[in-house]
Structure 1
Amino acid sequence: MMTGMNTETCDPAELAVLREIFASRPEAVPPVGWEAVGAFEGEHGIVLPEPYRTFVAEVCDGLRDGPPYYGLLPLAQTPSDWGSGRPDRLLVEPFPLTTAWLWEADDDEEELSVEEFEARTDPVFDHGSLLLGTDGCGMYWHLIVTGPQRGHVWQIAGEGAMPFGPESPDALMPGTPGFTGWATHWAQGRSWFADA
C-alpha cells in the first residue's frame, strides 16, 4: 500500500505548484469556490482529498487541454464517452483496490460470464473515485476519494486498473503519487508509463 501523503491538510507548497501549472493557462476553468465544494461533498457524503479540494475551490475547476489528453474535467462531470448505461457512481463506497489489477491478464476472468465480470469490475470504475478525465479509448483517470488509496490517482481502462506513482522500482507508472505529482508529471511532458 502507498503511504506518506497528507490528504487532510493542503500543503501550501503543493498548492503553489498547482497554481503555477494551472492558473495562468487561458483554457483554465475558474474555481468553483468553497460553497460549491461543500455542496458536492454533502451530496456525496465525502470530503475531497487535499490538495485537490483546495485546488477546485481556489485555483481551477478544469482545463480544456489536459491533463489528461482530453482535458481535466470540472468537479462532478464525467467524460462524454463514459456511457449512459453505467451503474450509479458511489463516491462514499471505498475504492476496492490497493494494487494494480490487470484483469485482461487474469486467467480466471476468462471463465466468468459478462454479468460476473461486471460485478467484479464495476466497483473499480464506480466506487470511491472522482473522474479527472480521459485519454480516450476508454482510458480514464480517477482521483480516489475514499478507501486506503484516498488521494492517489489511478488509470482505469478496459484492460485493468493501475495507480500512478507507486513507490516501487517495478511500477508501471512511476512518479510522485497524488494529484500534485500527477499534474506535475503531465506539465513536464513526461510519459505516464515506465517503458515508454
Structure 2
Amino acid sequence: MAAADAGCVVFGASKHRYRFGAPLRESAVIEFEQRHQVTLPESYRAFLVGIGDGGAGPYYGLFRLDGSDIAERDREDRWVPGLLATPFPHVTAWNPNGPDSLDRMSDEEYFAPEWVAGSLVIAEYGCGAFFRLILSGPARGQVWFDDRASDGGLTPGPHFRDWYLGWLYDEN
C-alpha cells in the first residue's frame, strides 16, 4: 500500500504514513487486560503482539492500546474503572437520535458512557466519528462505527480481522 501511495494521498494516510508502532510485549497486553478485567479479542491481540501497537490502518490509522495518541476527551473508556469489562449493550444498530426519532435524547444522555460500555476506541474516522472494538458482551470482537457526533448512532461491523483486511484489500 505504501508503494502504491508513496505521496500518502489516500484518506488518512498522511497521518499513519503506512507505518506501525512497535509490537507490544505479551506482558504489556496482559497488564492491560488485568487492569481492565477483560480479555482482548484474539485477532486484535495477535495484531498488537505480532504486527504493531497502532499505526497503519483504516482512515486515520489505529490508536495505541494505551490511548496515548488519542485526544484526552476521547479516551475516557480507558480511565473509567470497570467500563471495558461491562458487557456492550447492543447487538443491532442503535440510534435514538436518528432522523425518525420522536423522543430525542439530550447530548448528555446520548453520549453517556453506558451506551459504549465494553468497547474500546481503536481508530478515528474523522469529524468526531470513531471505530470501537467490542471487548465484552455478545458482539465481542466486532468493530462498530460510532457516529454519535453527527447523530448517526452506533452501527455494527465485522470482526476486527475482517475489518482490517477489508481496508488492506480496499473493501470498505
Does the pair score TM above 0.5? yes
> Which amino acid is the alignment partner of residue 161 of structure 1?
L
User: Do 1:73 and 1:132's aligned partners in 2 also have CA atoms closer than 8 Å?
Assistant: yes
Question: Which of 10, 25, 33 does residue 33 from structure 1 map onto?
Answer: 25
Deviation at 1:113? 4.0
RMSD: 2.4
Deviation at 1:101? 1.3
User: Do 2:29 and 2:45's aligned partners in 1 also have CA atoms closer than 8 Å?
Assistant: yes
Which digits, 9 at most, give the CA deviation of each residue in 1:68-116, with x for residues without a partner? x111111121664462796754101111100011333252432x44444
Q: Secondary structure at the match of 1:36?
A: helix
Question: Which of 77, 84, 92 does residue 91 from structure 1 map onto?
Answer: 84
What is the count of residue pairs matched by the alignment? Answer: 149
Report 1:45-194 matches (<5 A). 45-63=37-55, 65-67=56-58, 69-77=59-67, 80-81=70-71, 83=73, 88-89=79-80, 90-105=83-98, 107-110=101-104, 112-119=105-112, 122-125=113-116, 127-158=117-148, 159-164=152-157, 177-191=158-172
User: Do 2:23 and 2:49's aligned partners in 1 also have CA atoms closer than 8 Å?
Assistant: yes
Alpha-carbon separation, structure 2, partners of 1:155 and 1:85: 16
Q: Is 1:43 aligned to residue 35 of structure 2?
A: yes
Alpha-carbon separation, structure 1, partners of 2:68 and 2:131: 11
Deviation at 1:123? 1.9
Partner residue in 1 for 2:4: none
Alpha-carbon separation, structure 2, partners of 1:74 and 1:35: 15
- In structure 2, stretches of 5+ residues that fail to align are 1-16
Alpha-carbon separation, structure 2, partners of 1:85 and 1:77: 6
TM-score under structure 1 length normalisation = 0.67
Deviation at 1:56? 0.8
TM-score under structure 2 length normalisation = 0.75
User: Do 2:54 and 2:64's aligned partners in 1 also have CA atoms closer than 8 Å?
Assistant: yes
Alpha-carbon separation, structure 2, partners of 1:78 and 1:124: 23
- In structure 1, stretches of 5+ residues that fail to align are 1-24, 165-176, 192-196
Change (3 A) 1:114 1:51: closer
